[in-house]
Amino acid sequence: MAIPVSLIEQATRWRKELHALPELGYQEHQTSRKVAELLREFGLQVHTGLAGTGVVGSLENGPGPTIGFRADMDALPITELGNAEWRSTQPGVMHACGHDGHTAMLLAAAKHLSETRQFSGTVHFVFQPAEENLGGARKMVADGLFELFPMDAIYGLHNWPGLPVGHLAVNSGAMMASLDAFEITLHGRSCHAAMPENGADPIVAAAQLILALQTIPARRLSPLASAVVSITQIAGGEAINVIPENVVLRGTLRCLQGDVRSKVRKMIDEFVTTFTAPMGIEGSIEYLTDYPVTRNNAAEAEKVRDCALALLPAERVHWEVSPSMASEDFACMLDVCPGAYFWIGADGETPSRPLHNAHYDFNDQLIGEGISLWTALAERLLPLR
C-alpha cells in the first residue's frame, strides 16, 4: 500500500520541528511529550518514563506475534553550522545524527498502521532517549522494557550517508562495533617547569602512552582482527611554567569480535598501569561506557532483507556489507531480544554530510522510504489472519 503524500509531508514537518528543538540525552522532555501526544492522537496505548524520557506506544490488532520498532530521540552537543530555516534554536545542541528523522518516520509509521491495520498482532513503537554515549537502550532494558512489553523480536534502523536513498543494507551478524569509552588518569608529581628533575612529568608520560596504545591494533593484533583505539581528549596543566600533578586522557575502544575486545581491554589496562611506571607516573583507568557489538540475529536479518527485496530492486538491497566501526546502543536491546538493525541510504543527488558533522541535516527524501519500510515490515511479520 502506497504511503499517502499528505503523511510524508506531515512527517517532514514533524522532523523539522524536532530538528529546531534538539535535546541532549535524558533531557528530551519536549520531544518525549510531543511523541506521547501524537501516539495518543493515533489511538495507541502510551507508556512513558522508561529511562526517564523514553516512550512506548503499543498498537494491538487482534491475535498474533508481538514485535518492536525502535527510534532514537536525542541530539548531540554540537553547534550547528548549517543555514536551514529549521536549524537548531538551542545553542550548542543539534540533531547531527538524524534522530529527528528516525523519530518522525516511526511516528508516521505508527499513524499509518493505526489507520490501515493490515496486520494481525501487536507492534510496540519504542522511542529511546540517550543513544549518544549515555546508554539509553540499556537503561530502558534495566527499567523493564521487555518485561512490560514482551516481544518476539525488535528492529532498529539508521540513516546512512554513503548509501543512496532507496537502498538498504543489513547483515546476518555484526553491523556495528562494540564501544568502550574510558578515562585514564596519570598521577605525577608537580614541580617548576625549569626543574623537571624535581617532579614526575605526566605530560611526557601521556605523549608516550598515546603513541604506545596505537601499537595494540598495529602490532599486537592480527591484521584480520578489527579494533580501533582512539584518544580523543587530553586535559592537564594550569600554568605555563608548572609541570602538572595529573593528566587525564579520554578515548574509545571499538571492536567487532568479543574475544578481541576482551584482549585489547586487558592490554590497555596493562599499558596504563605498567608502561608509565618507570617514569615515576602512576596510571589508573575507568571505563565510562560499554556497549556490546551490534550483532543481528540471522533469522531476523533475513526477514528484513526479504521484506526489502519485496519493496526494492534487488540491486538496492545490500546483504553482508562491511560493518561499521562506529557503535550503537541498540546492541543492548539485541543482547536480550532477537532482532535486527539495518541502514537506509541518506545520499540524494548531493551526498549527505557525515553523521556527527556540524553541517549535517537529515535528508527528507528518505522519509517516505522509511515509513514504507516500517509499514511493510510490520505487515510482513504480522500477516493478517
- pLDDT at residue 368, as a whole number: 96
Is the CA virtual torsion 305, 309, 311, 317 positive or negative? positive
Q: Where are the domains of the chain?
A: 5-175+293-381, 178-291
**DSSP SS3 for 117:** coil
Burial 298-334, CB ≥16 within 10 A → b, else e: eebbebbbebbeebbeeebbbbeeebbbbbbbbbbbb
Q: To 10 degrees, the CA torsion angle through 212, 215, 221, 222?
A: 180
Q: Is 356 annotated as a binding residue?
A: yes
Could you tell me how many residues make up the chain?
A: 385
**Residue pointed to by grid coordinates 491475535:** 63
- Taking the complete model, does pTM exceed 0.85, yes or no? yes
Please give the chain's pLDDT, 385 residues, in tens: 689 999 999 999 999 999 999 999 999 999 999 999 999 999 999 999 999 999 999 999 999 999 999 999 999 999 999 999 999 999 999 999 999 999 999 999 999 999 999 999 999 999 999 999 889 999 999 999 999 999 999 999 999 999 999 999 999 999 999 999 999 999 999 999 999 999 999 999 999 999 999 999 999 998 888 899 999 999 999 999 999 999 999 999 999 998 999 999 999 999 999 999 999 999 999 998 889 999 999 999 999 999 999 999 999 999 999 999 999 999 999 999 999 999 999 999 899 999 999 999 999 999 999 999 999 999 999 999 8
Q: Which CATH architecture has domain 178-291?
A: 2-Layer Sandwich (3.30)
What's the rounded Cα separation, in Å, for the pair 335 and 86?
37
Task: Put the strands of the sheet holding 179-187 in their side by side order.
Answer: 227-236, 246-255, 179-187, 282-291
- Closest by alpha carbon to 94, among 31, 146, 154, 20? 20
- Determine if residue 132 is labeled as part of a ligand binding site: yes
What are the cell numbers at 164? 543512496
Burial label, 179 (beta-carbon count in 10 A; 0-12, 13-18, 19+): buried
Instruction: Write down the pLDDT at residue 1.
Output: 60
Opening angle at CA 334, ends 251 and 75, nearest 5: 50
Q: Does domain 5-175+293-381 have CATH number 3.40.630.10?
A: yes
**Residue 28 is assigned to a ligand binding site:** no
Q: Residue 86 and residue 364: Cα distance in Å, rounded?
A: 12
Residue with cell string 590497555 = 268
158 marked ligand binding residue: yes
CB count within 10 Å of CB 6 equals: 8
Backbone angles phi, psi at 193, to 5 degrees: -65, -20
